Structure 1
Amino acid sequence: MAQGEKPGSPGDMPSSVSGEMTFFDRFAEGASKFASRPWFFAMCLALIVIWAPSVLILKDVDTWQLIINTATTIITFLMVALLQNSQRRSDEATQHKLNAIADGLADLMRSLSKGHPEQTELQRDLKELKQSVGLEHRESA
């Protein structure tokens, strides 16, 4: 955090993750919560239990298989897109937290080494930390 800035100001975190969610992000979050519940699994199981004896009604095994294959393919395709969105946002949030921790650690290391020029090891560690997480690049931007 730069000197004089208040916590919560736009510059106090080194990441560009915003707290605002788009409509699709909110929808994907809701779908992820919906699909992770035990009763959703039970609904899927019930669908299979209902589908399986329908072979007696349809008489054509190819049509019977086509119904379940089509339904599961469509559901899988849509769920992968929704869950990938949730995973991406989770990864960004984790990276945001790691960047904040690394930034705080770099500030601490910098303040500890200010009055002690003989602590070249701490300076070297600070430089390594900045390079490993890209803080130097973000701080200069």
Structure 2
Amino acid sequence: MKFAKVAQKLALWAGSPTTFMGAIILIFLWAVSGPFFGYNDTWQLVINTSTTIITFLMVFLIQNTQNRDTDILHLKVDELLRVTQEAQNAMLGLEALDLKELEALRKQYRQLGEGQTVSLDGTVVQENGNQNLNKC
């Protein structure tokens, strides 16, 4: 749990305008210091090493916050499906489907959007010529 809290705070800090401006200032100071160091290999190595380390750590930080956000979104959608009487409860277990099954469902829902009502097994239940999208 400590990692999650630290990762969340770091993500908020890293995405702030202040941090962005700080990074711009550091790059500017590094560029301005080039003539003082004669644009030597060590001068270049400082920026290369710094950016590589920061990028490496940020990948894990971004992945952690993305996983957290995705889990939260899934829980919210699951709750909406649970309380909606017309919702298909089979949608709550989509994580267990493979890529082909998900693509088949995508195709069915695309057809729903085009005016066809399709059951989960893929059979057309009803053709809707002019679907009223205002009904909930």
**TM-score of the superposed pair, with normalisation by structure 2:** 0.63
**TM-score of the superposed pair, with normalisation by structure 1:** 0.61
Identity of aligned residues (%): 37
Residue matched to 1:8: none
Report whether the alignment pairs 1:45 with 2:24. yes
Report whether the alignment pairs 1:133 with 2:92. yes
Residue matched to 2:64: 85
Q: Which moved more, 1:76-85 or 1:37-46?
A: 76-85
Partner AA of 2:50 in structure 1: A
C-alpha deviation, 1:60, in angstroms:
4.6
Distance in 1 of aligned mates of 2:30 and 2:93: 53
Question: SS in structure 1 opposite 2:34?
Answer: helix
Structure (1/2) with the larger helix percentage: 1
Question: SS in structure 1 opposite 2:71?
Answer: helix
Report whether the alignment pairs 1:103 with 2:62. no
**Deviation digits for residues 11-63 of structure 1 (CA, Å, limit 9, x no counterpart):** xxxxxxxxxxx100000100011011111111000101110122222225322
| Larger relative contact order (CA 8 Å, sep ≥ 6) | 1
Gaps of 5+ in 2: 97-136
Structure (1/2) with the larger strand percentage: 2
Q: CA RMSD in A?
A: 1.9
Distance in 2 of aligned mates of 1:80 and 1:103: 34
